[in-house]
Every structure is written in structure tokens, then in C-alpha cells.
Amino acid sequence: MSWWVQVFYDHYGPAYVVSWLFWVVFSVVLHELAHGWAALRCGDPTPEMTGHMTWNPLVHMGGMSLAALALVGIAWGAMPVDPSRFRRAKDDALVAFAGPATNLLLAAFCLVAGALWMRFGGGATYDRFADFFFLGLMLNIALALFNLLPLPPLDGATVLATYSAGFRRLIRHPNFANFSLLLFLVVFFKLGPMLFSFAGTAANGSLGFLTRLIG
């Protein structure tokens, strides 16, 4: 099995590798900060008290996540919150949804910026910036969809549990906790490639459509 950096470098060049690393780190950090900002607005000071309202990737991602990024090109983050401090019962869902919503906003930015660049850009840097915005769009579509899956510890599970008492009881059952990690790993390795394939198709299609629409 080839190292992902070598594969990207051989097929697309060093700028592609740098773009991928940038978007993974930036998207994960902004995703976690969105959880933190939402929690603060909902009355929970935990993100500030624990020092997590920072742009430092080490704080949000940690050593294991950064090691996974180096080894396989993927990463994750965490934002500590205390739902007992939220002002309203539905704030748990709001805080959870803030992360994927931010990924969708990043995807929208990359879509518009990418389409404008593909329509009006040019010169020696054309392909590099086209790849840069495409990767940001594809990655954030995939991150938003994946995090919205109703499977602990993903954000979608928190959102669904907030509105469904039956689902909330299910994921809190002691027996569910015994195999939730295994279920998550199976979904991650089986569904993950499909999500990235779909995100790539969606990114290509939406960029092409908007570029043609611009003129």
C-alpha cells in the first residue's frame, strides 16, 4: 500500500499535497471552533475554560489525529462542551449542527471562489488554484455529510438524539456502548470512500455548472 503523500505527489505534484494538508487542518479546526462558538452563545463557558477557543491545531486535533493525517491523510478534532450548562433543551442539537454547517459554508465559499477562478483565472498558477478550491469543496462536502450521520460520536447522532427520545435511549443503553466503536469503524471504512466519491462527483458537477452559469 503506497503512502498517500507519495501517491498525491506523483500524480498531481507538491502543490496538491500542500492544498490537501491545508484544507484538512483548516476545516477540522474551524469545525471545532464552530462548536465552541455555538456553545458559548448557548451559555456554556467550557470551550474557553479549557483553552480550546484557539486556532492552534494541536489543541483541537492532538497528537494521534495529526499522526493519522501524516500516515493516511485524514484527521479529526474535539471540542469539550457541557450540555448541562446550555440555556435551552434544544441547544445540544444547535451546538452539534454548528460544525457540519460550517463545513457547508466552507464548501459554498470554495464553490464560488473556484468557479470565479476557473472562469476568470489564468496563467501559470491556474491549475494549482483550481485544485486548491476543488479540494476544499470536495473535502468539506464529505466532512459535512459524514458528521451528519446518526452514529455516535458524530454530530448527527447528537442532533437526532435531541429530537428523538427513542434514539436517545438507544445510544445511552449500556449494550449499545459495547459495539458503538466497532460500528463506527465499520461505517467509516465502508462508507467513507463512498462519501468521498460522491463528494468528488458533486464538487465537479457543481463547479462546472456554476462556471457555465457565470458565463
CA-based angle 78:186:181, to the nearest 5? 50
CA distance 32 to 60: 7
What separation in angstroms does the CA of 109 have from each of 9, 73, 103, 141, 172? 26, 23, 10, 12, 37
Summary mean pLDDT of the chain: 92
Determine the angle formed by the axes of helices 14-41 and 91-120, rounding to 10 degrees.
Answer: 150
Q: What is the mean pLDDT of residues 199-214?
A: 94
Reply yes or no on whether the pLDDT at 215 is more than 80.
no
Residue 191 CA to residue 146 CA, distance in Å, equals 9
Terminal Cα distance for the chain, rounded: 43
Q: State the pLDDT at residue 93.
A: 97
Query: Of 42, 150, 44, whose CA–CA distance to 100 is shortest?
Result: 150
Digit-coded pLDDT (tens) for 104-155: 999 999 999 999 998 888 766 778 999 999 999 999 999 999 999 998 889 9
Length of the chain: 215
Per-residue pLDDT for 180 more than 80? no
CA distance 20 to 95: 27
3-state secondary structure 86-128: CCCCCHHHHHHHHHHHHHHHHHHHHHHHHHHHHHHCCCCCHHH
pTM: 0.93
pLDDT at 3: 93
- Per-residue pLDDT of 22-55, as tens digits, reads 999 999 999 999 999 999 999 999 999 999 999 9
Distance from C-alpha of 35 to C-alpha of 48, rounded to nearest angstrom: 12
Answer yes or no: is pLDDT of 1 > 70.
no
CA nearest to 43, candidates 77, 89, 102, 78: 89
pLDDT > 90 fraction of the chain, expressed in percent and rounded:
77
In the chain, the percentage of residues whose pLDDT exceeds 70 is 98
